[in-house]
Structure 1
Amino acid sequence: MKIKEEMNTYRTTATVVGIVYLAGFVVGLAGTGLIQSTLGAPDYLSTVSAKSIMLAGGAILWLMAAAGDAAHGILMLPVLKPHSERLASGYLASRIIDSVFLSIHVLFVLLQIPIGSAYLKAGAPTTFSLQALSTIFIQAIPYVDGLGWIALGLAGLMLNYLFYRARLVPRWIAIWGLVGYAIICCGMVSELMGTGLGLVSELPGGLWEVFVGGWLIVKGFNASAFTSQTTGTNQPAAANS
């Protein structure tokens, strides 16, 4: 009975984690669209006050994505901890760091609203200062994002290493994740150096998150990884590998 209850708990966790993966992808795209439609316009400071609701909506969606990133670490901690307490804690810490950088991104976006409001009321000398301040915050966002993506990449490497070692998912999925997040780490480090490869490096890991989100909802974790753990053996079945 205890084993059955534990399996039900892990199945529920897998479903919730999968939903959070897919929801994070959707709200991230929607939030980016709302933000870019406002801040991507020419002379956006003159219109940002009028579009403040749209911009704030995009920021809220990004905050939801940040909360989802932290939730991944919390939800996966009891799943990963029996296989490696150190890596499970590292995964949680990296996810929290990632969410902090996302939150800083949101702050820089929201600061455009009061700057835009002041811009409309200011005289010529002051408008130049406000434009410069706004530009600094906008230009800082890619650096903040890059650091957050590096933290996400490290988290993904730890997650997929444990996925592979414990066979929590089929090993080809774990290998895909290891490659995808390694590309993210390398790509974002190079992005901070000015190579412009950041967006391209996100694709393999981003597609992995969409796929694995659906996989966890439909399939869940490999049951043999938990039954072998409960019975004290270390020979998970290969049927799902």
Structure 2
Amino acid sequence: MSSSRKSAVVAGVFFLVTEIAAIAGLVLYQPVLSDVNYVIGAGADTRVLLGGFFEVILVVAVIGTGVTLYPVVKRQNRSVALGYLCARLLEAAVIVVGIIGVLSVVTLRQDLAGAAGADRAALTVVGRSLVAVHDWTFLLGPNLVLGANSLLLAHLMYRSRLVPRFIAVLGLVGGPLICASAIAVLFGLYDQLSVWGSIAALPVFAWEVSLAVHLIAKGFKPPPVAARGVPAVEPNPGLSAA
């Protein structure tokens, strides 16, 4: 297997892992995200901690996609490729902040909620504040920043034709769309986890999944002859005269 084929397979696997880990983390986080009194209640700490573990896997996979694809796409445009890598690293960093916020709620519940003389109302406020940190990181990282890096990568893939253009078009549409949706949520037009939010996320989800499947199954398409720097064959003047 060539190095290019290996890079394609690894990147494809990383993309699939991001989708699985993101969904798993969000589902497992639900007790702490949906219960305003979680910090003073019975809790579901094991489930939430497992969600945090999946989010750590998500962070590793997000960084992995950027690092794996950078040597490939920088041949098309080094500046845009570097922008993609930096945006991917920023997305991972924002997700880490959200993980810390959620896991801090678990620590607060375990260490202070049952203590004698604990101010339950104050603990609830602090717990909800930490959840709010996660909610904002969930909007800014896997939505706004994700939209930006999806647009950059899709642009590189479209120009280089390393993947079929219909796949790149999904990213060119999905990236700006999820950014616009994140801005709409930011200004309170609708909730992030809503029908409109889900519809806006579908194209970028389709982009990442279809890209992953193509990279794993077929790898990168060879660039056109002209893009490889091979001159076109000119007709032989002598033969033409004859």
TM-score by length of 2: 0.86
| Cα distance in structure 1, aligned partners of 2:15 and 2:220 | 15
1:78-114 C-alpha deviation (Å, 9 max, x unpaired)? 0111110000100000000000111111011100112
Stretches of structure 1 lacking an aligned partner (at least 5 in a row):
235-241
Distance 1:101 1:189, change over 3 A: same
Distance 1:172 1:197, change over 3 A: farther
| Cα distance in structure 2, aligned partners of 1:195 and 1:39 | 21
Give the alignment of 1:1-241 within 5 angstroms.
Answer: 8-41=2-35, 43-45=37-39, 46-48=41-43, 51-117=44-110, 118-123=112-117, 126-148=119-141, 149-196=143-190, 198=192, 199-200=197-198, 201-224=200-223, 229-232=227-230
1:12-61 C-alpha deviation (Å, 9 max, x unpaired)? 1111111111111112211222111454346322223xx32221111010
| Cα distance in structure 1, aligned partners of 2:95 and 2:177 | 20
C-alpha contact (below 8 Å) 1:47/1:116 kept by paired residues = no
SS at match of 2:220: coil
RMSD: 2.0
SS at match of 1:121: coil
Number of corresponding residues: 224
**Letter aligned with residue 22 of structure 2:** G
Q: Quote how far apart the aligned CAs of 1:143 are.
A: 1.6
| Cα distance in structure 2, aligned partners of 1:174 and 1:197 | 28
- Which is further off, 63-72 or 195-204? 195-204
Distance 1:103 1:96, change over 3 A: same
Q: What does residue 237 of structure 1 align with?
A: none
C-alpha contact (below 8 Å) 1:187/1:197 kept by paired residues = no
- Which is further off, 214-223 or 199-208? 199-208
Q: What does residue 236 of structure 2 align with?
A: none
| Cα distance in structure 2, aligned partners of 1:88 and 1:77 | 6
Distance 1:170 1:191, change over 3 A: same
1:115-153 C-alpha deviation (Å, 9 max, x unpaired)? 1121122536x1111100111111232221222121111
**Letter aligned with residue 127 of structure 2:** S
C-alpha contact (below 8 Å) 1:32/1:58 kept by paired residues = yes
| Cα distance in structure 2, aligned partners of 1:100 and 1:215 | 28
C-alpha contact (below 8 Å) 1:38/1:54 kept by paired residues = no
**Letter aligned with residue 102 of structure 1:** I
**Letter aligned with residue 47 of structure 1:** A
| Cα distance in structure 2, aligned partners of 1:94 and 1:232 | 33
